[in-house]
Amino acid sequence: MKQYSLIDDIGTQHTFDKVPQRIISLVPSQTELLVDLGLEAKLVGITKFCIHPKDLRIKKQIVGGTKKVDYDKIRALAPDIIICNKEENTLEIVENLREICHVWVTDIISVEDNFNMISDFGNLFDCVAEAENWNRKLALAFSNFKSFIATKPVKKVAYFIWKNPYMVAGSGNFIDELLQLNHFENAFANQPRYPEIELEKLNPDGDLNYVFLSSEPYPFKEKDALKMANYTNSAKCIFVDGEMFSWHGSRLLKAFDYFKELQQKL
């Protein structure tokens, strides 16, 4: 095979003499995507948070989490490429890993970014047909969902991702993109990324419709909803599946069905 070059989402050019055969993924949602693209056999290392498919952590070497990794374990696996994400992994991790092998970094904010990532993986790992098939399925589901949601009224929501301190989804991230797609006006869209907030300032104008408590990265419980109710000013607390709102990749196909169910419950 001839030498080929590709550019990742942060502008780094990678030149390969052959298709990478030994892959480490440090992003749970992208691990799932790699498996769905038929690349499970090439995965040699994953994180402890790579929970889909369910049995993958039994089969593959765990090399740490998304914010802290075991560099010795990674070196011992002799990877050809390590898959990272700008939001999930730290710049320090990425720079250190570059001393070992190629580090491909994704940056997924929009649904269009998601389509592009899948196409990139198709070219990167010589599985173009599989990538195109996934993008066709996602494009159809995306179109169907946009038709479904078109007549739904816009509701104002606050989407919580963390406790101690309380943090919510702001703008410029995949969660905000999917909230907008669902006709949810993000109450904190005027702040970037994931701002910390005080519960006392959660709903000062009393115009919130819902407070979404995500299942991840912080697993909110019923006691959290009860406490939150003291500050919501009639906004209803709803538990939502964090994977559906924050995992990109092939998970988005299941997310569209989940969003329809959620809309019908509200």
pLDDT 10s digits, 9-67: 999 999 999 999 999 999 999 999 999 999 999 999 999 999 999 999 999 999 999 99
Is the pLDDT at 1 greater than 70? The verdict is: no
Query: What is the extent of the structural domain holding 177?
Result: 152-265
Tell me the three state secondary structure of residue 85.
Answer: strand
My answer on whether 116 and 244 are in the same domain is no
Domains of the chain: total: 2
Are 29 and 104 part of one and the same domain? yes
Strands 13-16 and 4-7: antiparallel
The pLDDT tens digits of the residues spanning 77-113 come to 999 999 999 999 999 999 999 999 999 999 999 999 9
- Given this model, what pLDDT does residue 116 score? 98
Separation CA 205–CA 131 (nearest Å): 46
For residue 52, the domain's CATH number is 3.40.50.1980
Residue 56 and residue 50 in contact, taking contact as beta carbons nearer than 8 Å: yes
